[in-house]
Amino acid sequence: MSSRRRSPALPALALAGALFLGACSAADPGRAGDAPPRPTGTGTATVAGTGSGTGLTPPGSRLRLGQSAVVSYAAGAGEGRVRIAVDQIERGAPEDLTELDLGEQAEGYVPYYVRFSVTGVAGSRTMADRSINESVRGVLDDGAAAQTLYVIGDWDHCTAVTFPSGFRDGRSISSCVPYLAREPRAVAAAQYAPPTGAYSNAEGSPVTWR
């Protein structure tokens, strides 16, 4: 079952101030591989192996699209576990950005849509009304971090979804986060890379899908 939180759509001119290119930092270059700049299909739905005694997928695991990982997720003062799978990395069209009225900021960029699904495993009630979207990162085919695209409100091409009120173990959501690549680069991989913890770039090693 999916839950989708919708915000009022903003007029195009208002979006120009609400949507912007985010600053990016270098991703772990050893975690990304080459991939063709085209939509990638959904992979086989299998679950990656978990670490002995932890029930978690080991940090640094490399998975195929569609494979799921069981990871820890910090939610305020609590921590839960979720099963997350990057299902698709879809190449959009440069024209998709025109409706956002970004002007010269968008010149030379192509949007990519990282689509993923999340299911609560343990401690899911602490995740209600929170977001995991910021922890799912796009990675370019040269190993650098993809340019972040922030959108306020719904965007038909790619809408980010937060955990709903009453989220609990066994409940699922599907979400999407958009990233940008300047041609000839392409978004070739995605990572679960929260800001802190064993899966972060700073303190550990993300789980990578490609």
Which residue has 């300047």 as its token pair? Answer: 182
**pLDDT of 3 strictly over 50:** no
Counts of helices then strands in the chain (DSSP H, E): 1, 10
Placement of tokens 């998709």 in the chain: 96
Q: What does the pLDDT read at residue 21?
A: 53
The structure's pTM equals: 0.78
Cα(115)–Cα(37) distance, integer angstroms: 16
Each residue's pLDDT tens digit, 63-101: 999 999 999 999 777 899 999 999 999 999 999 999 898
The ranges assigned to domains in the chain are 12-209
Burial class (CB in 10 A: 0-12, 13-18, 19+), 103: exposed
Burial group, residue 95, by CB count within 10 angstroms (0-12, 13-18, 19+)? exposed
Residue matched to tokens 């800001």: 195
Looking at CATH, the fold of the domain delimited by 12-209 is given as: Immunoglobulin-like (2.60.40)
- Cβ atoms of 82 and 123 within 8 Å: the answer is no
Q: How do residues 140-178 score in pLDDT, each as one tens digit?
A: 999 999 999 999 888 999 999 999 999 999 999 999 999
Residues 14-66: pLDDT tens digits?
333 334 554 343 333 333 333 333 333 433 344 565 554 469 999 999 999 99
How many residues are there in the chain?
A: 210
